[in-house]
Amino acid sequence: MLLKKAPMKDPLNESNLYVSGSMKDVKISDADFEFLSRYLAMKYGLRITKQKKILLESRLIKRLNVLNIKSVSEYLKFVFKSSKGKEEYAYFVDQITTHKTFFFRENYQFDFLKKQIEFYFHKVQKQRTVTVWSAGCSTGEEVYSLAIVLNELRALYPYLDFRILGTDISIPSLKKAATGTFNSIELENLPENLIKKYFKPVSSIKNNLFRFSNNEIINKIQLGSLNLNSNSYHVPYEYDFIFCRNVIIYFDDATRTAVLRRLLNNLKHNGFLMLGHSESAIGTNLAIESVQPTIYKKK
């Protein structure tokens, strides 16, 4: 499913607990935890250990409160067996994944991207469209960071054009990304001059909201839902750069290698794969070479 244009995290992170006082004693039974861990491993490749049981409970409690459901067992029946389960499923997936992200996270990778593009255009003065995929884009901060970097480079290199794809398994996160709307805290890593250049205040009760306002750039962004554990990825291009950061750390070894292989199938020869700061592709026997920590080049 692709959201045609932009304007329309990692799972179970301890920093994203939600506990309601009225339902704080709700627990996942061993049988329900076994079902969930098996299902999430099979469907999404997520490795949910018993040590994450309390965190999983914390995530699901929010939806129990919203729906006034009294137990996890009842909620799972609602999601997987009721007529309204399909509608709730997107919120279920959203709860079991974390969306911790921020603008220019691991900024050295954006600097590396800029240097690679600068090297190309210093060497070859001709029109080229640079393609970038943010695989696991969450609520869009990475996508818009990439858009800002590439657009800033266009002032120096008029032959540069670009296309950006952002994908995630969380539909609510993608919908937020599609609005291009962020609050002042979410924009705190952006220099003031870039906020003024690319964002406009949104008229609302909360006056600290800003929306990405460059329509020309927005037309170069495409967002869509994609499960990295799928057998194949139907994406629009082969990519010069793929950012897949803080995602594969939650897969088992076999799933991690399979996901990396499928990503590389959609990466151009001599293209670059960016992983998260605690992730590595070393030892996978894939056709890549390490350029620097967390950055790999396809052979």
pLDDT (tens digit, 9 = 90+) per residue, 96-123? 887 779 999 999 999 999 999 999 988 8
pLDDT: which is higher, 12 or 40: 40
What are the Cα distances from residue 298, in Å, to 41, 133, 260, 272, 281?
A: 28, 15, 11, 6, 12
Question: What's the rounded mean pLDDT across residues 8-23?
Answer: 36
Segment 135-159 mean pLDDT: 96
Burial profile 27-41: b = 16 or more Cβ within 10 angstroms, e = fewer = ebeeebbeebbeebb
Mean local confidence (pLDDT), 144-171: 96
**Mean pLDDT of all residues in 139-167:** 96
* 115 HSE (CA, 13 A, CB side): 7
C-alpha dist (Å) from residue 14 to 48, 55, 57: 13, 7, 12
H helix or E strand, kind and range, residue 111: helix 107-123
* Averaged pLDDT, 26-34: 90
**pLDDT tens digits along 192-202:** 999 999 999 99
Among 95, 119, 154, identify where a domain stops.
Answer: 95
Q: Is residue 2 part of a domain?
A: no
| Mean pLDDT value across residues 11-30 | 51
pLDDT, tens digit (0-9, with 9 covering 90-100), for 45-97: 888 888 888 888 888 998 999 999 999 999 999 999 999 899 999 999 988 88
Cα 208 to the center of its chain, rounded Å: 24
In order of 117, 159, 162, the CA distances from 120 in angstroms are 5, 11, 14
Do 34 and 145 reside in the same domain of the chain? no
Burial 220-253 (b: 16+ CB within 10 A, else e): bbbbbbbebbeeebebeeebbbbbbbbbbbbbee
Nearest Cα residue to 102 out of 190, 201, 214? 190
- The CATH number given to whatever domain includes residue 176 is 3.40.50.150
Residue 243 dihedral angles phi and psi, to the nearest 5°: -100, 115
**46 vs 272, more confident:** 272
CA distance 245 to 9: 9
The answer to whether residue 102 sits within a structural domain is: no
- Of the two residues 119 and 12, the one the predictor is more confident about is 119
Pick left, alpha or beta for residue 106 (phi over 0 → left; psi -120 to 50 → alpha; otherwise beta).
Answer: left
Domain boundary (55, 75, 95) is at 95
Amino acid at 99: H
Q: Sorting pLDDT into bands at 50, 70 and 90, what band is 292?
A: very high
Same domain, 165 and 244: yes
Confidence of residue 252 (pLDDT cuts 50, 70, 90): confident
pLDDT tens digits for range 121-138: 888 888 999 999 999 999
- Give the integer Cα–Cα distance in Å for 224 and 163: 14
In angstroms, the CA 7 to CA 174 distance is: 11
Q: Which two tokens stand for residue 246?
A: 């803080």
Beta bridge partners of 241: 132, 272
CA distances (Å), 252 to each of 3, 48, 197, in order?
30, 10, 42
Q: Are residues 39 and 117 in the same domain?
A: no
Supply the pLDDT for residue 205.
Answer: 63
Which whole number is the average pLDDT over 12-38?
Answer: 64
pLDDT recorded at residue 2: 46
In-domain check, residue 3: no
CATH code of the domain covering residue 80: 1.10.155.10
Structure confidence by residue, pLDDT tens digits, 216-230: 999 999 999 999 999
* Same domain for 169 and 123: yes
Do residue 126 and residue 82 come from a single domain?
Answer: no
- Section 34-46 average pLDDT: 91
d(CA 135, CA 95): 19
Domain hosting 69: range is: 10-95
